[in-house]
Amino acid sequence: MFSGLMMNTWITASVVAVIAGVVGFFAVLRGSTFAAHAIPNGAFAGAAGASLIGINVIWGLAVFAVGGALGIGALGRKARHDVVTALTLVLMLGLGALFVSVSSQYAQEAYSLLFGEVFGVSSGEVLPIVGLGVAAAAAIVLAFRRLMLTSALPEVADARGVSTRGTELYFLIVMALATSMTIPVVGALLMFSLMIGPAAAARAVTARPGVAMALSVVIALVTVWLSIALSYRTNWPLGFFVGVAGAAFYLLAQMSKRFSRLRLRSRPAVPRSHRNRHRADRCRLARPRPRSPGSPGTSGR
Amino acid sequence: MHYLFEPGLFASGPVRTALLVGAVVAVTSGIIGVFTVIRGQSFAGHSLADVATTGGSGAFLVGLNQFWGFLAAGVAAAGLMEAIGVQRRRGRDVATGVVLGAALGMAALFLYLDTQQTSTTGASFTVLFGSMFVISPDSVPALVASGVVAVVTVAVLARVLLLTSLSSDLARARGVNVRLVGAVYLIALAVSVSLSAVAIGAVLSTALLIGPSATALRLTKSPIRAMAASAVTGLAATWLGIVLAYDSYYWPPHGHGWPVSFFVVALVLAGYLLSYARKPRRLVPRSPHEGAECSPA
């Protein structure tokens, strides 16, 4: 299981897990889950286009990923974010359908781009992926405070002169590059599962951002290592284990959250974090009680 | 006239089926999509199509009719999303993402096992992009029936659904079970989306669900008029797309038609971008009580 070629797999997968954990944490926090799905998925059409005109697949992926991120970021200003994301994704995939039908020999490669070929990583591919992982992690860590501020308190960020739009665009482009460059190795679907499941699980367990991010990386690593071992033994595809393990971790985290909340209720009410407590109270005030006409705060006509 | 409609267009059986199924899917998606856009559930709509394809590959594995796999997976996923889904939009997207991630993992397994059995690698491709010209005429009645069921469900719920979509607080105050309405809507969405996914592919299904509805909602304030406009827009895009795809057989490269999904997507997108020419109107005026911290957009 730890022979020469498999070592490449272990290293690559670990680096990918770190990228996914770091980027995924903000994807979940900022509510960019749909973009996290759309950008790598749509970038796959770029690979089809690149192979059609006979250039390196990486260029097609990069152009489509960054183009998609720019489209979502720029059009998202004027209209609803999710609608724009859906339409961008559909446009990229529609182009992909065209490219594939014109080149008419791409279907086999399509499967490996969607589901990845992590067991066939060559030594030459390891170093670029490690470099990319370091760059992506650095890009996120450097902008950590800014990203945190615009995600949690966008109004405060605006007031302090931090550009919410610019940060959003920055994050989308980092995510686009980090995810799509790894597509030929791990596949578009695997990357998505690895980004969302662990990060969502970590967020459910703790509200502290630094801890949550570290936890998300740890869970992603455990998911990947477990999946590689299982996949090696059973010969079933890696993506299956990653997808199911990610969801299982999320479920586990949700259950532990419910459980700890039950225990907390018996103790004297000490707010875990003041901001959350405050927010919950205000929402409760704004929401009218059922069947009590004329209560203050209803948004009636 | 012959430049647009190639001779033999309407005599061809597959084209007639495509026109019929395309019309059913476009109208169903157009009507249901209006609510999807208002409720901000585009991600769920897209995911359900992807999840349905998982069911399709699973059904293929056990030898059932694909149709049932699509339907079962779509409805099950809708139930799961609703069960773990939080009411806030951001939490809902995460729940959708988790379900989608698990489903894609299953799809990887099913497709792998499928290829073990039959050694067809094109399966994932057909599932994703579909093709309108290869719909079997046998599946048409089932498609039409479920489209009608989904539309009737949404039509019956329309008023309540609109209220819960625009202001869940107000709906709750009037004694509406918001959770239940949301769940029923999501299941109707799953039925409509999985059927359009089986017929025309996951990509096109999302395009027809979101594009025409978003366009219509930019043009008109009234939900009823938006539904009509969205159905008509979707229908026009689909039919025109089919005609263009049929014509494209004579375009370069020779002897090979361009895919229908490309044309329909391009037309839908063109419509949406054209709608920017008009000044947008807000569907609901922003109320001061809708604090940003309670319902982040």
Q: Which residue of B has its CA nearest to A189?
A: B104
Write the residue in A193, A286, A292 that is nearest to B289 by C-beta: A286
Q: For residue B97, which residues of chain A lie inside 8 Å, CB to CB? A: 28, 33-34, 36-37, 192, 196, 200
Let me know if residue B123 belongs to a domain. Answer: yes
Q: For residue A44, which residues of chain B lie inside 8 Å, CB to CB? A: none
Q: A258: which residues sit within 8 A by CB, 6+ positions away?
A: none
Let me know if residue B130 belongs to a domain. Answer: yes
Question: Which overall architecture, per CATH, does domain A4-267 show?
Answer: Orthogonal Bundle (1.10)
Write the residue in A82, A100, A238 that is nearest to B43 by C-beta: A82
Q: For residues B2 and A299, what is the distance between their CA atoms, to the nearest angstrom?
A: 57
8 Å CB contact of A288 and B172: yes
pLDDT tens-digit readout, B187-226 = 899 888 887 887 777 778 888 999 999 999 888 888 889 9
Structural domain for B56, as ranges: 13-274
Per DSSP, the three-state class of B222 is coil
Question: A7 pLDDT exceeds 60?
Answer: yes
Angstroms from B148 CA to nearest CA on chain A: 25
Number of domain units in chain B: 1
Let me know if residue B282 belongs to a domain. Answer: no
Dihedral of the alpha carbons of A101, B251, B210, B139, in degrees to the nearest 10: -70
pLDDT tens-digit readout, A101-144 = 776 555 556 666 666 667 777 777 788 888 888 888 899 888 88
8 Å CB contact of B214 and A87: yes
Let me know if residue B85 belongs to a domain. Answer: yes
Question: A79 pLDDT exceeds 70?
Answer: no
Nearest in space to B90 (alpha carbons), one of A28, A31, A38? A31
Let me know if residue B279 belongs to a domain. Answer: no
**Cβ atoms within 10 Å of A279's Cβ, excluding its own:** 14
pLDDT for residue A297: 43
pLDDT band, residue A222 (cuts 50/70/90): very high
8 Å CB contact of B290 and A299: yes
Let me know if residue B247 belongs to a domain. Answer: yes
* HSE (side-chain half, CA atoms, 13 Å) at A193: 34
pLDDT for residue A2: 67
Q: For residue B268, which residues of chain A lie inside 8 Å, CB to CB? A: 87, 90
Q: For residues B262 and A243, what is the distance between their CA atoms, to the nearest angstrom?
A: 30
- Within A163-237, residue ranges assigned H as helices are 164-181, 183-186, 188-205, 209-234
Q: Which residue of B has its CA nearest to A110?
A: B125
**pTM of the predicted model, to two decimals?**
0.80
**CATH number, position B27:** 1.10.3470.10
Nearest in space to B29 (alpha carbons), one of B158, B151, B163? B151
Question: A253 pLDDT exceeds 50?
Answer: yes
8 Å CB contact of B108 and A247: no
Angstroms from B156 CA to nearest CA on chain A: 24
Angstroms from B143 CA to nearest CA on chain A: 23
ipTM of the complex model: 0.81
Q: Which residue of A has its CA nearest to B279?
A: A78
pLDDT band, residue B246 (cuts 50/70/90): confident
Q: B245-248, long-range: CB within 8 Å, 24+ apart, which pairs?
A: B245/B132, B245/B133, B246/B6, B246/B9, B246/B12, B246/B15, B247/B4, B247/B6
Let me know if residue B284 belongs to a domain. Answer: no
Let me know if residue B40 belongs to a domain. Answer: yes
Angstroms from A206 CA to nearest CA on chain B: 15
